[in-house]
C-alpha cells in the first residue's frame, strides 16, 4: 500500500461514505450484516455519528485511504464502564495491518475514556479475527453455539 492510510474519528459528514462502506463490507463477508442498516437514511446516520462524536463512552474510528473509508472500529457503550467493540475492514485490504491499526487506536482511545472493559462477540469460524483479538489481549469469557464472547480490561 503506497498510499497514506489515515485513522480518524468519524464525523457526521462521513455518513454517506460509512453507509456505502458497510453495505459493501456486508457483501464481502458472512461475518457482518447490513440488514439492520438498509432503512437508515444519510440524515439518520449523520445524527448517530454526531451523537457518537459528542459521547465520552462511544467512539467510531475510520480508516481512510484516498478519501475512501476502507475500515472502521466501533466502541458502543453498554454502561458507564463497558463498551461493545467491533472492527470491519474492506476485504480488498485484508492482511495489510489495518485491523491492527484500528484496534490499537480504539484501545488507546478507551484507555483515556471512563470505560474499563471492552467486550466483543466473534464467530468461531473466523480464526483470523480471533487471532488478532487475542494478540491485543482479549480473552474468551463465554463460548456460545456459533460465537465467542471475548473481553479486555483497559483500566
pLDDT of res. 31: 57
Pairing of strands 59-65, 82-89: unpaired
What pTM value is reported for the model? 0.88
94-137, pLDDT tens digit by residue?
999 999 999 999 999 999 999 999 999 999 998 989 999 999 99
Residues of the domain holding 129 = 5-153
- Strand 139-143 with 59-65, pairing: unpaired
Domain count, the chain: 1
Query: What pLDDT, on the 0 to 100 scale, is given for residue 39?
Result: 76
User: What pLDDT score was predicted for residue 26?
Assistant: 81
- CATH number of the domain that 39 lies in? 3.40.630.30
Structure confidence by residue, pLDDT tens digits, 19-47: 999 888 887 766 565 556 667 889 999 99
Amino acid at each position: 500500500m503506497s498510499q497514506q492510510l489515515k485513522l480518524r474519528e468519524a464525523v457526521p459528514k462521513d455518513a454517506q461514505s460509512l453507509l456505502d462502506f458497510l453495505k459493501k463490507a456486508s457483501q464481502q463477508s458472512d461475518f457482518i450484516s447490513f440488514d439492520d442498516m438498509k432503512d437508515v437514511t444519510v440524515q439518520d446516520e449523520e445524527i448517530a455519528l454526531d451523537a457518537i462524536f459528542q459521547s465520552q463512552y462511544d467512539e467510531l474510528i475510520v480508516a481512510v485511504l484516498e478519501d475512501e473509508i476502507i475500515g472502521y472500529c466501533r466502541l458502543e457503550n453498554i454502561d458507564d464502564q463497558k463498551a461493545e467493540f467491533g472492527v470491519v475492514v474492506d476485504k480488498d485490504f485484508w492482511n495489510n495491518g489495518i485491523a491492527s491499526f484500528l484496534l490499537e487506536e480504539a484501545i488507546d482511545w478507551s484507555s483515556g475514556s471512563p470505560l474499563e472493559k471492552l467486550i466483543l462477540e466473534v464467530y468461531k469460524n473466523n480464526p483470523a479475527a480471533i487471532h488478532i483479538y487475542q494478540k491485543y489481549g482479549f480473552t474468551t469469557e463465554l463460548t456460545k453455539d456459533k460465537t465467542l464472547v471475548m473481553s479486555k480490561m483497559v483500566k
